[in-house]
Amino acid sequence: MRVLWFGEGECRLIEIEHQRDTDLSADWVWDEMRHFDRVLKWIPRGSESTLTTNGEGVGMVRDIQLATMGYVQHRLTALDDAKRTFSYCLTDGKPLGMQEYQVTASVTPIDASHCSIRWAGQMTADGTLDEVETGRALEMALANMTTGIIAVLKGQKPDFTQQLKVDY
């Protein structure tokens, strides 16, 4: 995690990243991850949460009522199947104390049966919580999504890490 200052008294931008290699092919992982409406399959208590979408492709909006932290809305800002990458940003809600964030996910082949899943983004906290702690919470949330994706594809129960600032 990297912290960038914008000036005295101004908010700090936190850059976060999570990356994990897995013994699944890039095509198989991408076929699951590219679907902006499947996130509830990958997160703790996703079966107790709700998701609705509006639109299709880039510009699509998902409204999520998370059992763990309440309402959040994201907009899909980029999707590139050839490069196996997508990006989204927060458009409403303040999950984990974030004021705003944008995240890019990518899947990179290592060989025919292994790949690397990477999430990278930037966020600012809403000012009520410590920015560094909020950045760590986002990193942990992205790590849990990676765990969930791998578990879904392997037909296993995910072993999620207890999320900071979230009630499981």
Tens digit of each residue's pLDDT (9 = 90 or more) over 11-58: 577 889 999 999 999 999 999 999 999 999 999 999 999 999 999 999
Contact 25, 33 (CB under 8 A): no
At 167 the pLDDT is: 47
pTM: 0.89
DSSP string, 99-132: EEEEEEEEEEEEETTEEEEEEEEEEEE-SSS-HH
Name residue 118's beta-bridge partners.
19, 106
Tens digit of each residue's pLDDT (9 = 90 or more) over 69-83: 889 999 999 999 999
